[in-house]
Chain A
Amino acid sequence: MVAYWRQAGLSYIRFSAICASAVRAALKPQFKVDAMKVAESSVKVYVPKAIA
């Protein structure tokens, strides 16, 4: 049986990311701060413009 999100074209990685952010959003305030700090992405995507 195919999962509904798999059928909609989502990968398990994306499923996992959404679940993780849902759990982080449901933390008690004193724990939420630390979790959000860890969760924010420290990778900046830079796409160089093609020449000519």
Chain B
Amino acid sequence: MMAARFLRRSLPVLRQTRCYADAPSGSAQMSFTFASPTQVYFKEASVKQVDVPTLTGAFGILPAHVPTLQVLRPGVVTVFNDDGSATKFFVSSGSITVNADSSVQLLAEEAFPLDQLDVAAAKVNLEKAQSEMASASDEAARAEVQINIDANEAIVKALE
């Protein structure tokens, strides 16, 4: 009983957590690199926040985010610059790394600013894919068509 209370009291110290009186360690800066094979959008730039769509959900990354490795799914990446403006891109897939020193690498297979995408073309492709679903023979073919449908749905949703 006493041991439990002792542990609970001393756990913050043992865990090296910060209290309000402690100043944050290091600079609250995020070194952000965002590129696709053909285009570099940000190179070790300082930004305030980045919102990313991953397979396990969408989340926002601030400086001093916990280190993580995630893979992306088709969706919108929003970059909040230091001056308060926000820029949006659509990424198809790729990976995101948040390192312990607050550097973030977002490497996309395809990434384009939203205004380079055509919502009408995406809707046409979505309908085509949905009709392809009926003729898909086995589970792998069905999964491939479903991926196509999901990607086009994400594009339509991002542009509307």
Contacts and interface: CB of A to CB of B under 8 A. Distances in A.
Q: How large is the interface on B (under 10, 10 to 19, 20 to 34, 35 or more residues)?
A: 20 to 34
A2 to B, nearest CB: 11
B117 interface: yes
Contacts, number: 88
Interface residues of A, number: 26
B54 to A, nearest CB: 12
A23 B117 contact: yes
Interface string B86-106: 000010111000000000000
Interface stretch (B26-34, B42-50, B58-66, B135-143): B135-143
B30 to A, nearest CB: 25
Chain A binding surface SS class: helix
Contact of B118 (A14, A16, A26): A26
Interface in B105-160: 109-110, 112, 116-118, 121-122, 125, 139-140, 142-144, 146-148, 151-152, 155
Given A23-B110, A26-B118, A16 B125 contact: no
A34 B148 CA distance: 21
A31 interface: yes
Contacts of A26: 117-118, 121-122, 125, 152, 155
Given A3-B55, A31-B112, A15 B147 contact: yes
B116 A15 contact: no
Q: List 9 A-B pairs, minimum CB-CB distance, nearest first.
A: A8-B143, A22-B151, A16-B93, A26-B122, A19-B92, A23-B92, A5-B143, A20-B92, A20-B110
16 contacts: A8-B140, A9-B140, A9-B143, A12-B71, A20-B92, A20-B110, A23-B151, A25-B125, A26-B121, A26-B122, A26-B125, A26-B155, A28-B116, A28-B118, A29-B118, A38-B38
